[in-house]
Structure 1
Amino acid sequence: MRKAFISPAKYVQGEDELLNLGYFINTFGNKALLIGNTQDIERVKVQLNKTAEKYRCEFIMADFKGECSKVEVARLKKLAIEKNCDCTVALGGGKAIDAAKCVAQGEALIIVPTIAATDAPTSHSAVLYTEDGAFDDYAYFKQNPSVVLVDTKIIANAPVRFLVSGMGDALSTYFEARANYHSYAAANAGLPCGSQEESIAPARQTMAAFALATLCYQTLLNDGIKAKQSCHNKVVTTALENIIEANILLSGLGFESGGLAGAHAIHDGLTLLEETHHYYHGEKVAFGTLAQLILENSPSEEIEEVLDFCLAVGLPVCLADLGVKSINDAQLTAIAEKATISDESIHAMPFPVTVDAVKAAIIVADKIGQDYKQYGTFTK
């Protein structure tokens, strides 16, 4: 059986770690294209100046326009060539990170997340949008980032909602990896699978991938509430350090090497509802996780454990928590159809999944979440 494990070359995390950015730039040269929005760069201008002086490196400010579009990526690539940049540095959240991935094309890429809202920093994929912000395409690169550098002091000073959203994204990691484990699905996105032209077998998850996905879930349960309070008070504690690692590293390695399944597919379907557009990726994934648990008829005790966690940290447990006050059958059908298109991750579940099954799972997950919020139980 062919197995594979996908990861960045280096992951470094700690307080004031941004001061060491110049060291990693020096491993490629001394000139870096810095991709980030103005606000994020201004927040850490002092640290950037210090690391540039200490390591004698130069930042070429890209003036990122805010959208990871093909037009913006082309502009940034041209700038990198004109300025003879030795590497690319992404500073900020998802779109800046994805734009930097598209510019670097899998070479000499340093990711510096300023929030821990998703597990995107470690992955070798990106999402492209139109200049108007509509979804355009996915992009995959030959390898993951060269360095992921996480300054926990910066994360601690970011809005708490970002950290909680990251916990929602990380919450799905274990359950989706478990589904892939039982279905023997090809878990490693972006690796070549078999075709008529090439006889390369699909890659299954390694023991390491499943172990990291399991640790991710255990860490959320153990440290999630404490980490939220740490972030609320803008201080770095062991719990916050652990949750940052869970949100970014454990979840990142777990999803890319362990596989996605129902939760992310249902998230994709929920994006059809305009009301959900005001909510973050991880917030929608959290509800998608509950729907996946209903889909696979998980034990009540496990569902209650997930509900308790979500309510404790402030993640959605029903559609109303995502701004959806009412939903009709046509909308449910559209969501379920999008979640079950042929190339969606929901087909990694260890049983056939139909549109009707997804509709039923969403309805039941919504009702269970409502009842649990109101009564503290759904088994009455």
Structure 2
Amino acid sequence: MIKVLTSPGKYVQGKNVIMEMGEYIKDLGDKALIIADPIVEELFLDDLKAGLEELNYQIEFFNGECSKIEIERLKKKAAAEDAEIIIGMGGGKTLDTSKAVAHYSDLPVVIVPTIAATDAPCSALSVIYTEEGVFEEYLFLPKNPDVVMIDTEIVANAPVRFLVSGMGDALATYFEAAASALTRATAMSGGAPTMTAQNLAELCYNTLLEYGVSAKKAAEAGVVTEALEKIVEANTLLSGLGFESGGLAAAHAIHNGFTVLEETHSKTHGEKVAYSTLVQMVLEDRDPAEIEMVMDFCKEVGLPTTLADLGITDVSDEKILKVAEASCAEGETIHNMPFAVDAEMVKDAILAVDVL
């Protein structure tokens, strides 16, 4: 059995590292297209200019959805600018779009998250949505980003909800990797889960439980502490390596199912994943004390534990069954679970978590 571990070419994390970006990417090219969230111009442009003073670049602002239409628009922009590097700067969908544009343009990509809200930055994966924000497909990329650079000063001053959301996304990593290890399902890295990825996933989980609350308090104060640094690394690097080379299972498939309900579209990826992790734990019939511990953690940091928390106030079996059916679609990662799962089981588990 072939095991595969993939990772970014370089991972850089620390306070004010954006001002030193040029040092870490100077070997990739001389002309960049920066795909950025609009907030970058307002808040970080001066620091970005300082970090890229020896690089020619153009900034193009992201339209808000990682869709095929947006990827094609930005691919044409990169060609028109004769770009040699794609730099993605912003949240998860901006970064996924940047990775896709770089792939189709055959260019290196530098990923600069402005929030620690998902494990997207390190992965060789883009999640593609429709223009309306409904999950469409995974785009598997041939390689991970060339450089991932995360400035913890920026993260500390971002809305706290995003850091918490990242904890929700990272929370699934251990449970999904553990399920995938039992089935030895092929991970997104292209091989069976490695021992390294399994241990990184477990370290991710333990870091969340130990430092999550302290990191949230640091973010509320807008300061960079060691607890914040640890959670940023857990949300971004540990979770990224853990899911990609350890495997996905029910939690992310159920997240994808929730996207069929319009009322969940205002919730972040990590918020939906956190609830979906609890659903996976119920499906697995994990120890009630363990489920309660994870649920208590979610409550303490502010992650959803009820359907109402996800914006679903009008709950019906029919509506939740639609979520469950989408979760169990052919090719979904829920089929990496070590037992057969059907939509009726998922529906019941979703409703069970709500009453727990």
TM-score range, shorter chain: over 0.9
Call closer, same or farther: CA 1:332–1:70 in 2, change over 3 Å: closer
Superposition pairs of residues 1-380 of structure 1, within 5 angstroms: 1-53=1-53, 56-105=54-103, 107-186=107-186, 188-189=187-188, 191=190, 203-368=191-356
Instruction: Provide the rounded CA distance (Å) in 2 between the counterparts of 1:219 and 1:133.
Output: 31
Measure how far apart 1:79 and its partner are.
2.6
Q: 1:310 to 1:139 in 2, by over 3 A?
A: same
Query: What is the CA-CA distance between 1:124 and the residue it aligns to?
Result: 1.1
* Cα 1:364/1:75, change in 2 over 3 Å: closer
Residues 110 and 146, structure 2, Cα contact 8 Å, conserved in 1: yes
Taking only the aligned residue pairs, the percentage that are identical comes to 51
Alpha-carbon deviations, 1:235-286, whole Å to 9, x = none? 0000000000000111111111111111111112222222211111111111
Q: 1-side partners of 2:121 and 2:343: how far apart?
A: 32
Whole-angstrom CA distance in 2 between matches of 1:57 and 1:337: 49
Match of 1:376 in 2: none
Rate the CA distance shift 1:131–1:295 in 2: closer, same or farther, 3 A: closer
Q: Give the superposition deviation at 1:115.
A: 0.4
- Report deviation, 1:229: 0.5
Distance in 2, Cα, partners of 1:47 & 1:221: 33
User: Is the 8 Å Cα contact of residues 117 and 166 (structure 1) preserved in structure 2?
Assistant: yes
CA 1:331 to 1:145, structure 2 compared with 1: closer, same or farther past 3 Å? same
Structure 1 residues 162 and 305, CA gap change in structure 2 (3 angstroms): same
Q: TM-score normalised to the size of structure 2?
A: 0.95
Q: Deviations over 1:6-63 (max 9, x none)?
A: 211111100011012112331112211111022223311111121223xx11221223
Separation (CA, whole Å) in 2 of partners of 1:220 and 1:116 = 13
- CA distance in 1 between counterparts of 2:330 and 2:137 reads 16
- Give TM-score, length-normalised by structure 1: 0.89
Cα distance, 1:161 vs. partner? 0.3
Question: Which AA in structure 2 matches 1:360?
Answer: D
CA distance in 1, matches of 2:198, 2:69: 38
- SS of 2:344's equivalent in the other structure is helix
RMSD (CA atoms)? 1.5
Distance 2:134 2:259 in 1: 12
Cα separation, partners in 2 of 1:359 and 1:71, compared to 1, 3 Å: closer
- From the CA coordinates, give the structure whose radius of gyration is larger: 1
Distance (whole Å) between structure 2 residues aligned to residue 167 and residue 132 of structure 1: 26
> What is the one-letter code of the residue matched to 1:99?
T
Cα shift at 1:158: 0.2
What's the CA shift for 1:356? 1.9
Offset of 1:339 from its aligned partner?
A: 1.1
Equivalenced residue count is: 354
1:339/1:123 CA distance change after superposition, 3 Å: same
